[in-house]
Amino acid sequence: MSNRILSLLSVMAFASTAAAEVAYEFVPNFITPPPGKETIGDGHGEIAVDSAGNIYVSVQDKDPALAGLQMYGKDGKFIKTLPLPPSLHGFVIRKLGDGEHIYAAVLGEQKVIKCNLDGTVVMEIPTSAFPAEQRDFVSVTKTDDVDPKKKSPIASGLKIADSKEEITLKLADGTEKKIPKEKGVSAAGGLKLTNCDVAPNGDIYVVDGYGRSFIFVFSADGKFKSVFGGPDKPLALANAHKIFIDKRFEPARVMICDRGHKRMLHTDLAGNFIGEIATEMRNPSSASFHGDLMCVAEIAGNVSVWDNANKRVADLGTSPQMTNTPGIAPKDWQQGIVTSPHGITFDNDGNILETEWNKWGRVLKWNVKK
Amino acid sequence: MRLARSILILAAGGAVLAPLCVLGHGAEFLSAKLTLLPDAEVLLEITADYGSNPLIMDEAAALDALTDPVRLRQSETLVPLSNLGKATISQHHNWAEYAPAAYLPSDTEGEAHALITSAWRWRSAEPEIVFEMPKGKLHDLLLWTLDATQIEAPPKWMLLLAGDRSRPIPIQQTPWWRSWMAAAGAGGLILLSAYFVSRNLTLRQRTL
């Protein structure tokens, strides 16, 4: 414990030194929810800013007036909701040679979409474009006849056939296993896409963060190119919640929020391990870049800011209690204290906006002190 | 960072929240329901979700996660739960019974959950118990404390990550007067028995 107190003191000392370079102040009640609503709606997504400074927040609420991609002005006032799927778990806004677009992973539909800023979908990477080896990996179980609550595993592997009578898996050792579709037999698994980003050459990187943490690379026109990561070595990822292309470095790197292992790490664009950025974090969930800085949403209750030497230069909104829940109601919110940060972005001026995993929906903002 | 976490853990107290969620995030940790029973009895029920959990893909992984999920700190030793006896294992779908209300699933995230609970029950010889997560543990542990002798008291919870230690948790010791009463009762019985025995002997001697 004494080591931790020493660590705390040293971080506080460092933060105060760094404060000359970077410091932030909380902006109370920044977001104005849609008319007639007290909050923005069920949040389990991301937040991003376009080149004009408009703010986009994905909301998965059951209320169709809230669900989709909500758009706010620079002043935090609601503008409109773009008619996009509600399950945009992760998205980025990037301006490349062909203009400015939203690139989003649609968790509920296991696909990636590229849209104009008005919400018009201009390209889609469907589930079928992903390699079968990851897309069709399933676990087959059987529900107990006597105790329907009990499920017994039968086998896991690549589903190569699925007829009315049986499921055929290709197992890790290369053999095939046919499993009769008796009562109670079912297969579950497949992709669970959580985020995507775009490399300088236009390649689109997509992560299967709620699945087996594989990272897929597609060309700018949506053709599959390669895959890396996953649960096995060398990267051995666990719940790689979101990935980002880190253009603070030349050449650009892939920054992976390896949330299960509470660490962030870099690979090159081909997926080769470069190094860990930080470990023992509060479960890093999302990140954004501005100049030499990176801000990180840590879902167990913290927002951190890092420089390009991988040094923590600020902590914002730190919850006095570890969280990681969407169940903290507005009556229990405290100004400037995060609950479960899930998405984060810098705006064009270096201010930080954060959206939470929260059933009522919450966005916090910290302005950079100039 | 772990600094603040330590403070939080120390400060972790009663939490008044809403329903519990498990999709994606919520299911990532193990939920440990600690019930403090009278007479120093302790019931620890640790639940893993393998229904939609990126860290626990199937039943085998769930059972593995429950093999050595947390340890008891006794002096300088970390004692595995397996030393307390064999765990009782059950499968179910009832999150509400095994995690605090603040963690119930969002109704827009209607994914299937498959739960396995391992339960250990023991009588503590220590007046307080302390849990510790060995370093390198993949699964966070939500430690949720209920006091069976004060049912109306709000439950307390804290999230433990690898390397974290819980605050000392006082157990429900047998009240001192109960042991004195038991001793007095036993002593009284012995005296009473002795009296009757000696009385019988005396009567027999007189009869003879």
Task: List the A176-180 sheet strands across, edge first.
Answer: A176-180, A166-170, A151-162, A137-143, A185-189
Q: What is the DSSP letter of A212?
A: T
Q: What whole-number distance in Å separates Cα of residue B33 and Cα of residue A265?
A: 34
pLDDT digits (tens, 9 = 90+) for A159-168: 999 998 999 9
Report the chain A residue with the minimal C-alpha distance to residue B28: A260
* CA distance, residue B162 to nearest chain A CA (Å): 8
- The predicted model gives B62-77 an average pLDDT of 93
pLDDT digits (tens, 9 = 90+) for A236-281: 999 999 999 999 999 999 999 999 999 999 999 999 999 999 999 9
A152·B59 Cβ contact <8 A: yes
List, in order, residues 6 or more apart from A348 with CB less than 8 Å away: A49, A51, A53
SS3 A63: coil
> Predicted confidence band at B179 (pLDDT cuts at 50, 70, 90)?
low
User: Residue ranges of the domains in chain A?
Assistant: 21-95+103-116+191-368, 137-189
Q: What whole-number distance in Å separates Cα of residue A266 and Cα of residue B14?
A: 39
Encoded tokens for B163: 């390397």
Q: Is B22's pLDDT higher than 50?
A: no
Name the residue with higher pLDDT: B115 or A103. A103
Residue A324, phi then psi, degrees to nearest 5? 80, 55
A149·B91 Cβ contact <8 A: yes
**B residues 131-160 near A, CB within 8 Å?**
138, 140, 158-159
Q: What whole-number distance in Å separates Cα of residue A346 and Cα of residue A365?
A: 10
Residue A97: C-alpha distances to residues A29, A345, B161 (Å): 36, 22, 44
B20–A contact, CB cutoff 8 A: yes
Q: What whole-number distance in Å separates Cα of residue A44 and Cα of residue A28?
A: 21
Q: How many CB pairs under 8 A join A and B?
A: 156
List, in order, residues 6 or more apart from A157 with CB less than 8 Å away: A137, A138, A169, A170, A171, A172, A177
Question: β-pairing, A99-106 with A88-96?
Answer: antiparallel
Q: What whole-number distance in Å separates Cα of residue A353 and Cα of residue A343?
A: 8
B61–A contact, CB cutoff 8 A: no
Interface test with B, best of A59, A281, A286, A322 (most B CBs within 10 A): A322
B165·A325 Cβ contact <8 A: no
A21-95+103-116+191-368 folds as Neuraminidase (2.120.10)
B54·A4 Cβ contact <8 A: no
Task: List the A111-115 sheet strands across, edge first.
Answer: A88-96, A99-106, A111-115, A121-125
Question: What would the CATH number be for the domain defined by A137-189?
Answer: 2.30.30
Instruction: With beta carbons less than 8 A apart as the criterion, state whether A38 and A361 touch.
Output: no
Least reliable range by pLDDT among A325-339, B4-18, B187-201: B4-18
* Chain B environment of A327 (Cβ under 8 Å): 17-21, 101-104
Least reliable range by pLDDT among A205-214, A240-249, B23-32, B140-149: B23-32
DSSP string, B27-91: GGSEEEEEEE-STTEEEEEEEEE-SS-TT--SHHHHHHHTTS--EEEETTEEEEGGGG-PPEEEE
Q: What whole-number distance in Å separates Cα of residue A281 and Cα of residue A256?
A: 13
**A residues 49-78 near B, CB within 8 Å?**
60-62
How many other C-beta atoms can be found within 10 angstroms of the C-beta atom of residue B183?
A: 10
A8·B7 Cβ contact <8 A: yes
Q: What whole-number distance in Å separates Cα of residue A311 and Cα of residue B17?
A: 34
Name the residue with higher pLDDT: A240 or B109. A240
Least reliable range by pLDDT among A17-26, A361-370, B115-124: A17-26
Q: What is the pLDDT of residue A10?
A: 47
Q: Is A130's pLDDT higher than 50?
A: yes
How many other C-beta atoms can be found within 10 angstroms of the C-beta atom of residue A306?
A: 21
Report the chain B residue with the minimal C-alpha distance to residue A89: B24
